[in-house]
A and B are shown apart, each in its own frame.
Chain A
Amino acid sequence: NAGVTQTPKFRILKIGQSMTLQCTQDMNHNYMYWYRQDPGMGLKLIYYSVGAGITDKGEVPNGYNVSRSTTEDFPLRLELAAPSQTSVYFCASSQPGLAIYNEQFFGPGTRLTVL
């Protein structure tokens, strides 16, 4: 199993551009999450999904959109990129009720810089 994969690994955007961060998991997990990690600020939840076709906002959803058309994929869309969106983005998945501690499995991250 590859686990959770994310593409791209790095990206530089200009202000106002848009892009999609890709996330795929092969563990058949129903739950998927997008976090952003800023230095010294921990992980902040952007959006999450409890299954295909179901998404909900987290703590910091402004400026982002998501979709979940399949169990495996959970892309994150940035529209009109702003310098405040410079961060490292992590996708994660879990299957509550399956793992003992509802463990989340994280991808390797996407480092995004908006100039």
Chain B
Amino acid sequence: GQQLNQSPQSMFIQEGEDVSMNCTSSSIFNTWLWYKQDPGEGPVLLIALYKAGELTSNGRLTAQFGITRKDSFLNISASIPSDVGIYFCAGRNFGNEKLTFGTGTRLTIIP
């Protein structure tokens, strides 16, 4: 089955640093979603993107729907301890009812 390539796989940063991660696909998507999974919990939706080129923010988080429709980016500014977790991208193709998930980026904040 198709999976999205998400990078980096893991990040170790200091509190206050900015974070960038991305997701790429071999096929076009008409929707991109970004989720965060806290330890011991299920993923929670952070940002949804519906148009190529769209840039959407949610507090310190900003995500972009790539112009080619084959990629998406998530940035976190001024990281704080509660940002720790696994971030997943997910995409949906035209005419497909199901989401395809990325492999996840694990974010760790170094004291």
| B is bound to A | no
Q: What is the interface of chain A, defined by CB distance below 8 A to chain B?
A: none
